[in-house]
Structure 1
Amino acid sequence: MPTPAPTGPLVTRGTLTADLRTLGVRPGETLLLHSSLSSLGWVCGGAVAAVQGLLDVLGPEGTLTVPTHTASNSDPAEWSRPPVPEAWWPEIRASMPAYEPALTPTSGMGVIPETVRRWPGALRSAHPQTSFAAVGPLAAEITDGHALDCALGECSPLARLEARHARVLLLGATFASCTSFHLAEYRIPSPRAETGRAVLTPEGRRWETVTDVDLDIAGFEELGADFSRDGQVVRGRVGAADALLFPLADAVAYAEDWLGRRRA
């Protein structure tokens, strides 16, 4: 069978830059990106060109931040897609490689975040499951001090981004991917749960269990639809992708009220 021809549209670094500017991304701003490369169309240069286009728009004074989560570094008892035999659990806990910011690849976040993680000058936060990577002058401020018992709360990069008046760009991604909503879960009464993961300590690799907010994306799509209707959300297209751009602080405040009422 012949390889099917690409369906397009043809997207380049230059067209991405132009589309992002038209959407309203500004030079010098701080941006949290959630993305789907495949949604953009046929990108000449792939994820590298996509990141170059984003950095071109932000310029040398802007900072690009992406989630570089590693959900696979977790207790196998919690795995469901797919599950693994219970008989394997002890060996997985004993053998899972410890999280190392410079080494551990991103999982489940897409190819653009992994490309940003490996970008020259990129910095990555220390949380073994919900890290973020950033490129730009605020990268250290955003990624430093990510507490190991605070996945997406006040001691995470999300709170630093909020304080820096960052905006969120959903690029071919849905509100189910909007990590900013999770910051609101820390500001309302939320259940807590234990989670396990492999970490690297001065004494070497070990398996640890910590207690943190039990994060839950249930309702995020409905929440996002309501926020899109009521909030300051800019809608547009970048390549073939639907794009949404909005202030992170607005999303967190709206989610705090919305989730607070529905989860009470």
Structure 2
Amino acid sequence: MPKPFPTGPLVTRDSLAAELREAGVRPGETLLVHSSLRSLGWVCGGVVTVVQGLLDALGPDGTLVVPTQSGHLTDPAGWSNPPVPEEWWEGIRAAMPVYDPLTTPSLGVGVVPETVRTWPGALRSAHPHTSFAAVGPRAARIVRGHARDCRLGERSPLAALETLGARVLLLGAGYGSCTSFHLAEYRIPAPLAAVGRPGPDGWEVVTEVSISSEGFDELGHDFERDRPVLRGRVGAADVRLFPVADAVAYAQRWLALHRPREEEFPHPRV
């Protein structure tokens, strides 16, 4: 039996860049991209073409930013996809490699971020769980100073992106992946969490603001209803484009109304 033709449309580097500009991407801007390669259709050249098309749309003065999270460097006691036997936990903690911005792969954010992470000239931030990678003239300003005890707050690239007037591009991705909403969690009363990870001197536990993407799809629906969001298509993918600052400000008000108050959370034991 011959294989069926691939599902289209055909996406090329030129068509991708042209449709991104038509959707509202501006040359020279700073863009935080959350993406789904498979949503685009049949991409000639695969993921490399997608990164090239994004960089073409931004031009030489633009900066491309992606999340390059590394959730595999977390406490195995909290793993669920898949879980590991409890008798393995201590051995995993003892053997887990320390985060290295140059070599630690990203996980769970798709192939586009992993490709950007290894792109010539890319820079990556220092947080061992929630790093970002950037390519372009503002890359160093965005990724530097990412505190090791601040996943997605005021001392993270998200705050730098907000200050720079960056925008978010959801390229075939939903609001559940919109990391900008997490910055709002740091600006409302929020619980703390004990977070384990490998450190330079062995396994360490630090206290972080508790973050969760629960409810982000509903938050995104309300945000799009109430705030200006550019919508379009690139290949077969739905795209949404909006300022980081708008997303953070709206989420701060929305989460304050829809999330439990701080005193309703149990205090963690560190």
1:148 aligned to 2:148?
yes
CA RMSD of aligned residues (A): 0.9
Give the whole-Å Cα distance in 1 for the aligned partners of 2:77 and 2:68: 23
Tell me the residue number matched to 2:213. 217
The amino acid across from 1:89 in the alignment is W
Q: What is the CA–CA distance in structure 1 between the aligned matches of 2:192 and 2:222, rounded to whole Å? A: 26
- Give 3-state SS (helix, strand or coil) of 1:72's partner: helix
Q: CA deviation at 1:94?
A: 0.3
* Unmatched segments (≥5 aa) in structure 2: 262-270
Which residue among 240, 250, 262 is the counterpart of 2:246? 250
1:136 matches 2:136: yes
Secondary structure of the residue aligned to 2:233 is strand
Matches within 5 A, 1:1-264: 2-199=2-199, 201=200, 206-263=202-259, 264=261
Runs (4 or more) in structure 1 with deviation over 4 Å come to: none
Taking the aligned partners of 1:130 and 1:2, their CA distance within structure 2 comes to: 44
1:8, distance to aligned residue in structure 2 (A): 1.1
What is the CA–CA distance in structure 2 between the aligned matches of 1:5 and 1:72, rounded to whole Å?
A: 36
> TM-score normalised to the size of structure 1?
0.97
Deviations 1:14-61 (A, max 9, x none): 010110010010000000000000000000011100000000011111
State the distance in 2 between where 1:3 and 1:125 align: 43
Conserved 8 A contact 1:232-1:247: no
User: How far did 1:206 drift?
Assistant: 2.1
Q: In structure 1, how many angstroms separate the alpha carbons of the residues matched to 2:114 and 2:82?
A: 22
Identity of aligned residues (%): 68
- The alignment covers a number of residue pairs equal to 260
Q: Please give the alpha-carbon distance, in whole angstroms, between the structure 2 residues aligned to 1:161 and 1:2.
A: 49
> Matched residues in 2 for 1:8 and 1:181: separation?
32
Q: Which runs of 5+ in 1 are unaligned?
A: none
Equivalent residue letter for 1:231: R
Within 2, Cα distance between the matches of 1:206 and 1:44?
45
Residue 266 of structure 2 corresponds to: none
